[in-house]
Amino acid sequence: MLTAEQISIIKATAPVVGNHARDITGAFYPLLFERYPHVQAYFNQTHQVQGTQREALAQALVAYASHIDELGQLSDAVSLITHKHCSLNIQPEHYDLVGECLMEAIAMVLGAAVTTAVADAWSAAYRQLADILINAEAMIYQQNAERRGGWQGERRFLIEAIVPESATMTSYYLVPEDQEQAIDFSAGQYVGLILTINGSVVRRNYSLSDAPGARHLRISVKHEQGGVASGYLHQQAKEGNPVLLTAPCGDFVLTQDEYGLDKPLYLVTGGAGITPAISMLNSCVASGREIVFVHAAINSEHHAFSAHVQALASNHDNLKTFYIYEAPLPKDTPDATGYLNADMLKALMSGRQDVDLYYLGPKPFMACVNRIVHELGIPPQQVRSEWFGPREALD
Ligand SMILES: Cc1cc2nc3c(=O)[nH]c(=O)nc-3n(C[C@H](O)[C@H](O)[C@H](O)COP(=O)(O)OP(=O)(O)OC[C@H]3O[C@@H](n4cnc5c(N)ncnc54)[C@H](O)[C@@H]3O)c2cc1C
Ligand code: HEM
């Protein structure tokens, strides 16, 4: 518990820490990796190079400091961070290492402004936040272990089948090596995949792309040019190979019961963002709930799961599809060409605001849908999004 004096110190110094947050997190990661090299393998090095993780941590610290006396406001951020941490198997003992390096980074960047009282207040504030995250993570780990087919930590799976879904996306069917049991998760969640590539451990997240309750977990991976994990999976992985997985995590899940019928469900995705939407679709299409499945792809060659979704649509009247191709091939007949825009989504919504809308895609796609959703006035609690990397600001 912070004292009243510490809270006022945090409030008074929050603006200066906020102004220097990027410098602080920029100093923090090299310090952490130099002093505790074993921790580096938990972090996606591409996000380090791109600076997106540095930025996400800076924003989290600013948000925390500015809500230090109203922590309830941070519940969405806590949920996002803790699910991400659990998917990477972050443990309580890691928090001391991070705290030590973060406090040193603050002192390095702010210099003499960090008096003993300021340092003590920020250390206490860090400890408080660490405890909130550690407790929330303990609950996620426990829930994940208690689910049917669940587990805690890293578990060995075997690649049972490799199935191409488009010119650039391939599905991997993964079964636990130690048991054959249906595995529960919430449609829309993702796993942590741990690979050893050329002697280095690489951790990446992948959304599960099939409905829960099967004996396999399926991930569907887009081949990124020059990508370490996707390159390995597409070019080297073979059926029968082992991989390590953490238990499914993430809060990009259907807020209503998946069989809830009251609001139409809009699944709006671009490119590789289709994967969790397929899991949601597969899990609830048979319920009869009205579903509008909107997907943007380059063209039919890059359009993953199109035959699968078309087959579902021909058997379920409650499912409507709308496809937008950026660069259609001569044989393609999409519903629209170019990029998703406000007019397309408005026409699909027919002025309705009582919908649940889930969206995921590349950053410009996310920015566009985010803007349209605001314009249409859909209540924020009915809109959810996921990111295939550290969450970024859209405005
Ligand atoms: C919650 C979540 C769910 C996800 N679900 C999916 C999913 O279902 N399907 C899916 O395909 N992906 C998904 N992702 C993304 C996935 O985790 C990986 O980020 C993605 O597969 C790329 O990883 P990679 O190792 O192949 O590429 P990386 O090696 O990370 O490289 C990514 C890109 O950056 C470039 N790059 C790397 N380093 C540099 C550098 N130094 N300079 C310039 N360019 C560089 C590479 O050339 C490449 O184009 C998800 C991510 C998250 C966070
Ligand atoms: C109070 C302490 C911490 C805060 C505020 C914090 C905050 C964050 C945030 C905001 C993200 C990005 C979430 C997203 O948008 O996906 C993140 C991701 C991550 N965090 Fe933490 N974190 C803390 C402690 C730790 C600790 C102790 C570790 C362990 C070493 C850790 C390891 C990671 C990793 C590996 C990622 C994913 C990085 C990536 O994708 O590149 N964090 N954290």
179 — pLDDT class (breaks 50, 70, 90): confident
196 and 291 together in one domain: no
- The verdict on residue 236 lying in a domain is yes
Q: Rounded distance, CA 63 to CA 74, Å?
A: 8
pLDDT at res. 256? 67
- The verdict on residue 390 lying in a domain is no
Q: What is the CA radius of gyration of the chain?
A: 22
pLDDT at res. 261? 63
233 and 117 together in one domain: no
- The verdict on residue 369 lying in a domain is yes
Query: Token pair of 100, please?
Result: 């030590």
Mutate which of 50, 185, 205 for ligand 1 pocket (most atoms within 8 A of beta carbon): 205
286 and 204 together in one domain: no
From the CA of 393, the nearest ligand is: 2
In this predicted structure, the answer to whether residue 366 has a pLDDT above a threshold of 90 is: yes
Question: Count of domains in the chain?
Answer: 3
DSSP state, 248? P
Using an 8 Å Cβ cutoff, are 78 and 136 in contact? yes
Q: Rounded distance, CA 284 to CA 267, Å?
A: 12
Query: Token pair of 258, please?
Result: 């998946």
3-class secondary structure per residue, 190-238: EEEEEEEECCEEEEEEEEECCCCCCCCEEEEEECCCCCHHHHHHHHCCC
137 and 240 together in one domain: no
Q: What is the mean pLDDT of residues 25-51?
A: 96
CATH value at residue 27:
1.10.490.10
Q: What is the mean pLDDT of residues 115-127?
A: 96
Question: Is 85 close to ligand 2, i.e. is its CB under 6 Å away?
Answer: yes
CATH value at residue 274:
3.40.50.80
- The atom number, within ligand 2, closest to the CA of 32 reads 30
45 and 10 together in one domain: yes
Question: Is 49 close to ligand 1, i.e. is its CB under 6 Å away?
Answer: yes
3-class secondary structure per residue, 31-77: HHHHHCHHHHCCCCHHHHHHCHHHHHHHHHHHHHHHCCCCHHHHHHH
Cα dihedral sign, 380-381-385-386: positive
pLDDT at res. 262? 75
139 and 24 together in one domain: yes
Last residue of a domain, one of 117, 146, 175: 146
- The verdict on residue 231 lying in a domain is yes
**Chain segment 320-343, per-residue pLDDT in tens:** 999 999 999 999 999 999 999 988
Q: Rounded distance, CA 182 to CA 178, Å?
A: 13
Mutate which of 87, 98, 131, 366 for ligand 2 pocket (most atoms within 8 A of beta carbon): 98
Q: Name residue 358's beta-bridge partners.
A: 267, 384
75 and 42 together in one domain: yes
From the CA of 392, the nearest ligand is: 2
Q: Give one DSSP letter per residue of 296-354, joined into a string.
A: EESSGGG-TTHHHHHHHHHH-TTEEEEEEESS--TT---SEESS--HHHHHHHHTT---
pLDDT at res. 181? 87
Last residue of a domain, one of 86, 120, 146: 146
From the CA of 225, the nearest ligand is: 1
- The verdict on residue 392 lying in a domain is no
106 and 160 together in one domain: no
- The verdict on residue 254 lying in a domain is no
**Chain segment 193-239, per-residue pLDDT in tens:** 999 999 999 999 999 999 999 999 999 999 999 999 999 999 999 99
Point out the catalytic residue in the list 29, 64, 95, 173.
95
pLDDT at res. 258? 55
Element spanning 6, H or E = helix 4-19
Question: Is 60 close to ligand 2, i.e. is its CB under 6 Å away?
Answer: yes
Judge whether 95 counts as a catalytic residue: yes
Question: Is 98 close to ligand 2, i.e. is its CB under 6 Å away?
Answer: yes
CB atoms within 10 A of CB 47: 15
CATH value at residue 225:
2.40.30.10
- The atom number, within ligand 1, closest to the CA of 202 reads 25
Q: What angle, rounded to 10 degrees, do the helices at 363-376 and 342-349 form?
A: 50
Q: What is the mean pLDDT of residues 104-112?
A: 94
Last residue of a domain, one of 214, 245, 276: 245
pLDDT at res. 1? 82
100 and 164 together in one domain: no
Q: Going edge to edge, which strands form the sheet with 169-176? A: 200-207, 190-197, 242-245, 155-164, 169-176, 217-222
Judge whether 137 counts as a catalytic residue: yes
142 and 31 together in one domain: yes
Expressed as residue numbers, the domain containing 219 is 155-245
Using an 8 Å Cβ cutoff, are 385 and 268 in contact? no
126 and 13 together in one domain: yes
